[in-house]
Amino acid sequence: MSLYSTLRPALFLLPPEKAHRAAICALQRGLVPPARSTHANLKTTVAGLSFENPVGLAPGFDKNAECFEGALNAGCGFVEIGTVTPRAQAGNPTPRVFRLVEHEAIINRLGFNNEGMDAAAARLAKRSGRGIIGGNIGKNKESADAVADYTAAMRALYPHVDYITANISSPNTPGLRALQAADELKALIEALQKLRTALVAEGAPHRPTFVKIAPDCDDAMLEAIAQTALATGLDGLIVGNTTLSREAVVNSPHTQEAGGLSGKPLFALSTEILRKIYRLTGGKIPLIGVGGIASAADAYEKIRAGASLVQLYSALIYQGFGLVSSINDGLSELLARDGFANVSDAVGSAHRIG
């Protein structure tokens, strides 16, 4: 039995956000055990960035760039902080996070609660430089000009992170998912790329820019997203965010709570969307697979479906950060079993079999 499994009953007596605060404090103080080992066959290069392993911490955990060093120490190949908005905002009223323990799932309607771009940038400026850190950015709830918010947040974080992700898929900010429509998406990507060109001209490094999409997109929207990503030369897509669907949790007492569902019930849906996006883009754009990963087998399925990297969050609530090392160990073994010399060789392999 792991230490976390012993502590979890006590943590689950706390409201979810207080337990989350305790987890952040534990990472800050080095109380989470360090990664047990590294694996040569997990080292990979994606969008020009070199990753120690493909297993990352999804945004939403370290919203304000407080504990990314601790997460890297725990074995994460990369950490994506945020979502960060230009101005600090409190988010939606509490309670706004609900554990669906019987499903190992979470429903949240946090609403981009964060301390704002300046606070995040100040903390990121003190980073040690090791590991890959991404900056996930979004718009403030009351902003009329979404593109202006995204470019402002990108400008603030750009000097301190290794890549930028535009989150246009949270269900908890009104109107945000409308940015996934082809014209709006094209305008946003081009604005971010124009800013990047200007920053590079000023002497900054060229940093990849990703977009995070929802798992609730229909086939027409997925095709439009894929075409737009290819046409604009987008560096990558993150697939995907939480879902509004409740089909997999109909018997939970929290089923009717508003917000996005994450955790194990999201795995099948998010993986199917990932497969579709990989086919639609012809494997020409790096994909990061997110949603319901709770084991090495889950991570491997995402990779074989087309993900070059994967991200975790909800499963850590139920299994603790020891899960990161467990997934990396298991992934290394699965790759060796199937004759892949490196994790990059397995990306999209399910599409090449049968």
Residue 264: which residues within 8 A CB-CB, separation 6 or more? Answer: 103, 104, 105, 292, 294, 314, 315
Residue 263: which residues within 8 A CB-CB, separation 6 or more? Answer: 100, 103, 104, 105, 106, 292, 294, 314, 315, 317, 318
- Asked whether residue 350 is domain-assigned, the answer is no
Task: Enter the pTM of the model.
Answer: 0.97
Q: What is the CATH number of the domain that holds 329?
A: 3.20.20.70
Q: How many Cα atoms within 13 Å fall on the side-chain side of residue 286?
A: 19
Residue 251 confidence (pLDDT): 85
**Are the CB atoms for 30 and 73 separated by under 8 Å?**
yes
Q: Residue 114 is which amino acid?
A: N
Locate 37 and state its tokens: 């080992």
- Asked whether residue 349 is domain-assigned, the answer is no
Q: Which residues pair with 235 in a beta bridge?
A: none
Total domain count, the chain: 1
The rounded distance, in Å, linking the Cα atoms of 230 and 334 is 31
170 counts as catalytic: yes
The rounded distance, in Å, linking the Cα atoms of 160 and 42 is 25
* From 143, 169, 170, 326, the catalytic residue: 170
The rounded distance, in Å, linking the Cα atoms of 295 and 138 is 29
- Asked whether residue 234 is domain-assigned, the answer is yes
- Asked whether residue 114 is domain-assigned, the answer is yes
- Asked whether residue 348 is domain-assigned, the answer is no
Domain that holds residue 70: 3-342
Residue 353 confidence (pLDDT): 64
Locate 168 and state its tokens: 């246009």
pLDDT tens digit sequence for 206-244: 999 999 999 999 999 999 999 999 999 999 999 999 999
Residue 324 confidence (pLDDT): 97
- Asked whether residue 175 is domain-assigned, the answer is yes
Locate 86 and state its tokens: 């230009």
pLDDT < 50: residue spans in the chain: none
Residue 354 confidence (pLDDT): 54
- Asked whether residue 354 is domain-assigned, the answer is no
- Asked whether residue 98 is domain-assigned, the answer is yes
